[in-house]
Amino acid sequence: MTRPSWVTAAYLTLVAAPAATQQTGSVGIDGGLSASGPGLAARANLLAQFGAFSLGPEVGASGLGDGAEVWHAGGAFRLSGTAGRIRAHGTAGVSYYSWNRCAECGRLSLLGISVGAGARLARPASWLSLGADLRWDRQVQGLGAAQEMSFVTVTLGLALHW
């Protein structure tokens, strides 16, 4: 696809489709810890919401300790509760990961997945929600058993809803 095609597809997914179905969207920023580290972790997403189902782009970075780090960019899919103050959710994602295993090592670019669960605390009339997530990320391209790479993050953050 050409660049204008990608821009059009992103626009239709994130703006036109929710507006046409009179649904909402959200932008979320989470920060926390990499349990596989010690290190810091962060994720940001822009989700179009269709009732209990949400989808959209996501980016993130995690420190994995000993100079190792990973960056990712891809898509996230979320299934969540739509009523009540506490709304549990499950999340899955597919991303392109850039792994740096140590300060002296070269980067590995791999396709990966993430799965997780969490909850958001929201007031019905509020534009903001507070959430917590536990996510497991893993590469899906084979590098051999000795080089399997995965990590776990625990994050806390805010989401702005419209």
φ, ψ for residue 37, nearest 5 deg: -80, -125
Question: Is the pLDDT assigned to residue 124 strictly greater than 50?
Answer: yes
137 vs 127: CA distance, rounded Å: 29
Class of domain 24-161: mainly beta
Share of the chain above pLDDT 90, in %: 50
Looking at residue 132, what is its pLDDT?
Answer: 96
Domain ranges of the chain: 24-161
Q: In terms of Cα–Cα distance, which of 6, 86, 21, 91 is closest to 54?
A: 91
63 vs 47: CA distance, rounded Å: 25
Looking at residue 23, what is its pLDDT?
Answer: 55
Tell me, what amino acid is at 116? G
pTM of the model: 0.78
Count, residues in the chain: 162
Question: Is the pLDDT assigned to residue 22 strictly greater than 50?
Answer: no
106 DSSP 8-state letter: P
Question: Is the pLDDT assigned to residue 1 strictly greater than 60?
Answer: no
Looking at residue 143, what is its pLDDT?
Answer: 63
Question: Is the pLDDT assigned to residue 81 strictly greater than 50?
Answer: yes
CA 138 to chain CA mean position, Å? 13
Handedness of CA 35, 53, 48, 114 (dihedral sign): positive
Mean pLDDT of the chain: 83
- Residues 28-51, mean pLDDT to the nearest whole number: 89
Tokens describing residue 88: 């549990």
Handedness of CA 13, 19, 21, 23 (dihedral sign): positive
39 vs 89: CA distance, rounded Å: 25
23 vs 94: CA distance, rounded Å: 24
Q: Check: CB of residue 72 under 8 Å from CB of residue 59.
A: yes
- Residues 138-154, mean pLDDT to the nearest whole number: 76
